[in-house]
Structure 1
């Protein structure tokens, strides 16, 4: 029986140990034992470009959500809910949730700006809008005023960042080269499902003011471990087929695959961290008058 083989407890330990460490770090931070990145309420809906009205970021988020919802609908229509056996669809749906939350959080703030705009001159509005967006006045609310939706938005954003890197890199660099054949055909829909999520999220990062740090790796690890647990439960109950060959527990190489899968989370998340660092380093140098640099959670001119 597959579950009685020696590699099963070894593989279980490989993902249980990171899960336990991640939960411990999360409890330490939420309990006040660790530093929390400073996030201002305006970071959630303002852009990092002085000349770009937050309305355009709102429209982009709504467009991204609708576009991804259409692609996910096409995928479910073509393959049924069986598609959600795959990590790709989990991550794709999570990115959709992020854009939905970001749109919901942005709408009341943009409405407030538009309401303030009525009867004001353009010159005064521009100055006032910059103050509202980038926290240059003392009226900015502190981090602890963030509500459940706002905190959830940050968590989902950081989780998505690592997950889309993992999904797309593994598909294009590991799975696709070995899946070309009679049993698999790369279609436009499959290609979009493994690329659009990263494209939309990277463009979002180029526009938004949300800080991004290494602690998000904790959420990313918990997300992936949740997927593994669900797959194990499904396999134990009724499903005899693994969605990915490297999840198969029947091979003695399973611990090697699980260990490699665990370790690859670090460079995948690190790649997105480097992208955000490159954003601030390059844009602040190329566009010093229009780009607002975010450093350690605080916006700097």
Structure 2
């Protein structure tokens, strides 16, 4: 099938573009951020860890359920929440205080960017494409949670945390669907015995290359949307946003106003 060669090329090309973007665009290094903006956020994150863990392990038939992008998404969100909770707990002594960013904090910020952006994509694709094509239109509470309620909880996380979405995350946003596409294709040929988790992934369809292209392109579009939300956050809640500083000058509470400038 000619579609196989086209889709293989698309996966390789998009993966290469993603790697290039990871190397080309880097998050700012000389910034301050709040690792523990409030104790409220710590409690909120701990609550979400329990809730998302119950949703993932209690209401999904793992490990088979990992064939679905939705469950990939939920798993990444749980990993982020656990990591963010531990990170904030370690920095609880500086609650409400800005400190210089570290490699870990920048990685955590990038991880959040991916989870936040992709959560909207999963919600849109499920309710706009997958659900209308289903024969059984029964709506289950867990489907609503994994394709909508989780987005609302992540927006709460975004409103309370000390992060903003970065364009430097573009590479990771592009690589994620490539990994999932390759995983689904390999699974179809091996352990899934010819099963495609989503109809639009089926490479036997002549329209499949268009579906793959559309899926790849909508990821950066959703990233642009979350970048817009970050601009609003910078305007309405500037105290929670990272701030650039001059590394040649001492950064102390006394001269914060002189040494830092908005990012």
Does residue 253 of structure 1 match 2:207? yes
Q: Label 1:39 to 1:75 Cα distance change in 2 as closer, same or farther (>3 A).
A: farther
Question: Rg larger in 1 or in 2?
Answer: 1
Q: Does 1:153 align with 2:108?
A: yes
Task: Mark the runs of 5 or more structure 2 residues left unpaired by the alignment.
Answer: 246-259
Q: Which of these residues, 60, 85, 94, is aligned with residue 44 of structure 2?
A: 60
2:56 corresponds to 1:75: no
1:244 alignment counterpart: 198
- TM-score norm. by structure 1 comes to 0.75
CA distance in 1, matches of 2:44, 2:156: 9
Mapping 1:14-25, distance limit 5 Å: 14-25=10-21
Mapped partners of 1:193, 1:28: distance in 2:
33
Query: Deviation digits for residues 218-238 of structure 1, max 9, x if unmatched?
Result: 111111211111111111223
Does the 8 A contact of 2:3 with 2:206 survive in 1?
Answer: yes
Give me the whole-angstrom Cα distance separating, in 1, the residues matched to 2:40 and 2:105.
Answer: 20
Partner of 1:194: 147
Q: Deviations over 1:248-281 (max 9, x none)?
A: 0111111111111111112221121112222233
Aligned-pair Cα RMSD in Å: 2.3
Distance 1:256 1:175 in 2: 16
Q: TM-score, normalised by structure 2?
A: 0.85
Report the 3-state secondary structure (helix = DSSP H, G, I; strand = E; otherwise coil) of the residue aligned with 2:216: helix
For the residues of structure 1 that align with 2:240 and 2:29, how far apart are their CA atoms? 14
Gaps spanning 5+ residues in structure 1: where? 30-34, 48-53, 114-128, 135-139, 285-290
1:96 to 2:78 alignment? yes
CA contact (8 A) 2:162 2:242 kept: no
The question of whether the paired residues in 1 share the 8 Å contact of 2:31 and 2:242 is answered with no
Q: How many residues align?
A: 247
